């Protein structure tokens, strides 16, 4: 009996030991079952389309007009008034009996000629713009972005008025002359009629005025 009791006691102790071992084993982590979680890379930001750069405006003061700043380069798309040289020229009737002197801006560069009198809301009666070309040409003018009616006079190399057409504000019609010309003079609409001047009269082109 004593032997049997000792045997039972030993079995009970072994059972307790095994139970403790199993519980301890359940609390340990199996190295083989460990999963390493790698963080996902940050989402790649898609680049937005590059916006069209705003044209740089170079400004210069207009001589004689304090505080009047204008870009040196002209644009046909930006409504800034641009810097143009100014001079006076005289339009004389063919018979020499009458003449009128204008103060005109000179458009003798390509960017200036393309811009012309675009975006102007008004113009003095004795003001205008003289377009100077490097040689005779036959292409016409249009009134894109031009807000005021104009008389467009096509002039020969000697300044003779060859033809006058009438520009309607904002019209995209090409006003093509019937013969080649060297200069173009733009003034307010109806100006030639009001002054009693027209085809065959002469515009005195100032010395030194030439295309660049």
Q: What is the DSSP string of the chain?
A: -HHHHHHHHHHHHHHHHHHHHHHHHHTSPPGGG----PPPPPPPPPPPPPPPPPPP--EEEPTTSTT-EEESS--SSS-------EEEEEEE-TTSS-EEEEEEEEE-SHHHHHHTTTT-S---TTEEEEEEEEEEE---B--TT--S-EEEEEE-TT-BEEEEEEEPTT----B--SS-EEEEEEEETTHHHHHT--TT-EE-PPTT----
Domains of the chain: 84-203 (2.60.120.1140)
Under 8 Å between Cβ of 88 and 103 = yes
**pLDDT value for 42:** 34
Tell me the whole-structure pTM to 2 decimals.
Answer: 0.66
Q: What is the pLDDT along the chain (212 residues), one digit of tens a residue?
A: 444 444 444 444 444 444 434 344 444 444 443 333 333 333 332 233 334 333 343 334 444 433 444 556 777 776 666 778 899 999 999 999 999 999 999 999 998 899 999 999 999 999 999 999 999 999 999 999 999 999 999 999 999 999 999 999 999 999 999 999 999 999 999 999 999 999 999 999 988 888 87
Residue 163 dihedral angles phi and psi, to the nearest 5°: -165, 145
Under 8 Å between Cβ of 82 and 73 = yes
**pLDDT value for 121:** 93
**pLDDT value for 78:** 67
């Amino acid at each position: 009996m004593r032997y049997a009791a000792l045997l039972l006691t030993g079995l009970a102790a072994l059972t307790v030991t095994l139970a403790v071992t199993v519980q301890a084993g359940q609390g340990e982590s199996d190295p083989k079952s460990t999963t390493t979680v790698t963080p996902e890379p940050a989402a790649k930001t898609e680049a937005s389309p590059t916006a069209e750069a705003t044209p740089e405006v170079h400004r210069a003061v207009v001589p004689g007009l304090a505080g009047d700043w204008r870009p040196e380069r002209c644009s046909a798309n930006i409504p800034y008034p641009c810097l143009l040289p100014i001079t006076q020229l005289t339009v004389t009737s063919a018979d020499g009996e009458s003449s009128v002197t204008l103060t005109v801006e000179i458009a003798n560069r390509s960017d200036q000629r393309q811009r012309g009198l675009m975006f102007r809301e008004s113009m003095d009666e004795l003001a205008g713009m003289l377009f100077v070309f490097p040689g005779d040409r036959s292409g016409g003018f249009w009134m894109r972005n031009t807000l005021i009616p104009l008389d467009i006079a096509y002039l020969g190399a000697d300044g003779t008025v060859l033809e006058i057409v009438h520009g309607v504000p904002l019209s995209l019609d090409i006003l093509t002359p019937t013969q080649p010309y060297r200069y173009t003079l733009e003034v307010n609409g109806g100006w030639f009629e009001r002054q009693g001047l027209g085809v065959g009269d002469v515009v005195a082109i100032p010395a030194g005025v030439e295309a660049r």
